[in-house]
């Protein structure tokens, strides 16, 4: 999950996987 997010936009992947998107926005 972490390695994949680094290549495909961290904010986009984290927002989808994370329960608190407001933290990355």
Per-residue pLDDT tens over the stretch 1-25: 565 556 666 565 555 555 655 555 4
Predicted pLDDT of residue 25: 45
20: which residues sit within 8 A by CB, 6+ positions away? none
Predicted pLDDT of residue 17: 58
Domain count, the chain: 1
- The domain in which residue 3 lies consists of 1-25
The phi, psi pair for 7, rounded to 5°, reads: -85, -35
Task: Count CB neighbours of 4 within 10 A.
Answer: 10
Distances (CA, A) of 14 to 10, 18: 6, 5
Threshold 0.85, pTM exceeds: no
């Amino acid at each position: 999950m972490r390695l994949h997010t680094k290549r495909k936009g961290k904010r986009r992947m984290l927002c989808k996987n994370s329960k608190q998107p407001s933290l990355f926005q």
